[in-house]
Amino acid sequence: MIKQLTAVSLVVLAGCSAGPTGDAPNLTATLKTPVNVELTWKITDQAAAGQVVEYSNEEKGEYTILDFLPLTRTTYQHTDLIPQTKFFYRVRPYYGTASTPVELTLPPGDLVESESEEWLQPSTRPGPPARASVRDVQGAPTDFTVTMMHANGVKLAWTDQTTDEQGFLIELKADGAADFANVAMVDPNVNTFGLITQPQEKKATYRVRPYKFGEPTNIAQQTTGSS
The pLDDT score that the predictor gives to residue 4 is 41
- Domain residue ranges in the chain: 12-95+213-223, 102-212
Establish whether domains 12-95+213-223 and 102-212 are of one fold.
Answer: yes
pTM, full prediction: 0.85
Contact call for residues 147 and 158 (beta carbons, < 8 A): no
The rounded distance, in Å, linking the Cα atoms of 49 and 140 is 12
| CATH pick for 12-95+213-223 out of 3.40.50.1980, 1.10.150.130, 3.30.70.60, 2.60.40.10 | 2.60.40.10
State the greatest distance between any 2 C-alpha atoms of the chain, in Å, as a whole number.
57
Strands of 36-40's sheet, edge to edge?
Answer: 28-33, 36-40, 75-78
For the chain, which residues score pLDDT lower than 50? 1-22, 24
Whole-angstrom distance, CA of residue 213 vs CA of residue 178? 25
pLDDT for res 110: 78
Query: What's the pLDDT score for residue 94?
Result: 98
Nearest in space to 38 (alpha carbons), one of 64, 73, 13 = 73
CA distance 91 to 25: 8
Closest CA to 178 of 205, 153, 199: 205
Task: Dump pLDDT digits (tens) for 146-185.
Answer: 999 999 999 999 999 999 999 999 999 999 999 999 999 9
CATH of the structural domain 102-212, one choice from 3.90.1150.10, 2.30.30.100, 3.60.21.10, 2.60.40.10: 2.60.40.10
